[in-house]
Amino acid sequence: MLSTDTAGLVWERLVKLGAVPMGANCWEHLRIIKGRPAPGKELTDEFNVLEAGLWDTISLTKGCYIGQETVARLITYQGVKQHLWGLIFNGPVDQESIIFSDGEKVGKVTSCSSKPENGEYLGLGYIKKKAGGLGLKFQVAEVSGTVRSVPFVRQTL
């Protein structure tokens, strides 16, 4: 964190030392590639921390904390019904689009890159556990896709 008075000077110095400038669109693209959940997209009231694959961010042994009982119930009763996955599309799709597989609604797109990488668009979304996971073929409107793994997320249960 810097004051606005010094931010420009620090930025110039970092670039001179070899830092590569990156805008918000590039950061979003890299976030999607790695599978890092973002507030307002993958991290909302609609999805829980276990569905987001953030197992390493919670404690099952720590004393009282907000949401502890809910998390314990999800684990005890195998309550995780969907998982966050990486998605590969053969064309652009809108965030919040519904994901279908074999004519059934199986999930929701939460993020999608605005530029193709090697002709493919990358995204993140939640897929119902009983629909499948890695390698699942799906459709979003007229666009086809495949579920991929992402390094940031850990599926379990």
- For residue range 51-108, what is the model confidence (pLDDT) as tens digits? 999 988 888 788 788 888 888 888 888 889 999 999 999 999 999 999 999 999 999 9
Residue 132's Cβ-count burial label (10 Å; 0-12, 13-18, 19+) is: middle
- pTM value is 0.85
Q: What is the DSSP code (8-state) at residue 118?
A: T
pLDDT class for 157, splitting at 50, 70, 90? low
pLDDT beyond 80 at 156: no
| Rounded Cα–Cα distance for residues 34 and 41 (Å) | 15
End-to-end CA distance of the chain: 39
| Rounded Cα–Cα distance for residues 91 and 53 (Å) | 26
Which residue type, as a one-letter code, is found at position 19?
A: A
Q: For residue 109, how far is the Cα from the chain centroid? A: 9
